Structure 1
Amino acid sequence: MNCMMFIFFRPRSRWSCQITDAGLIRISYAKCIGNLTSISLWGLTGITDEGVVQLISRTRSLRHLNVGGTFITDESLFAIAKSCPKMETIVLWSCRHVTKNGLIALVGQCLKLKSMNVWGTRVPVECLNNLLIMSPTLQIKI
Structure 2
Amino acid sequence: MPALRRQISTLSTVNLNKTINSFIGNGNLQEARKLFDQSPHLTNVVSWNSLIAGYFKHNLIQQAEYLFDKMPHRDVVSWNTMLSGYRNANNPEKGDNLCRGVTDTGLNAIARGCPTLKHLFLWDLSSVGDEGLSEVAHECHLLEKLDLFQCPTITDKSLLEIAVNCPKMTSITMDSCSNIGNESLKAVGQYCLNLKLVVFRNCPL
Find out whether 1:28 has 2:116 as its counterpart.
Answer: no
* CA distance in 2: counterparts of 1:74 and 1:53, whole angstroms: 11
Find out whether 1:89 has 2:171 as its counterpart.
Answer: yes
What SS is found at the alignment partner of 1:112? Answer: coil
Q: Is the 8 A contact 2:111 2:117 kept in 1?
A: no
CA deviations over 1:39-63 (Å, ceiling 9, x no partner): 1112222100111111221111111
Name the one with the larger strand percent.
1
Find out whether 1:116 has 2:189 as its counterpart.
Answer: no
CA deviations over 1:89-133 (Å, ceiling 9, x no partner): 11110111112112101111000111112111111xxxxxxxxxx
**Cα 1:77–1:114 shift into 2, 3 Å:** same
Normalised to the residue count of structure 2, the TM-score between the two structures is 0.51
Match of 1:44 in 2: 125
Match of 2:87 in 1: none
What SS is found at the alignment partner of 1:34? Answer: coil
Listed as ranges, the matches of 1:1-142 within 5 Å are 12=96, 17-30=100-113, 33-71=114-152, 72-123=154-205
* CA distance in 2: counterparts of 1:58 and 1:48, whole angstroms: 16
CA deviations over 1:62-82 (Å, ceiling 9, x no partner): 111112211211011111111
Match of 1:126 in 2: none
What SS is found at the alignment partner of 1:12? Answer: helix
* CA distance in 2: counterparts of 1:122 and 1:99, whole angstroms: 5
* CA distance in 2: counterparts of 1:114 and 1:13, whole angstroms: 32
Q: Which has the larger radius of gyration?
A: 2
RMSD, matched Cα: 2.5
Match of 1:140 in 2: none
* CA distance in 1: counterparts of 2:112 and 2:97, whole angstroms: 27
Normalised to the residue count of structure 1, the TM-score between the two structures is 0.72
Percent of aligned pairs with the same amino acid: 29
**2:197 maps to amino acid:** S
Structure 1 residue ranges without an equivalent (≥5): 124-142
How many residues align? The count is 116
Tell me how far 1:13 sits from its aligned partner. 5.2
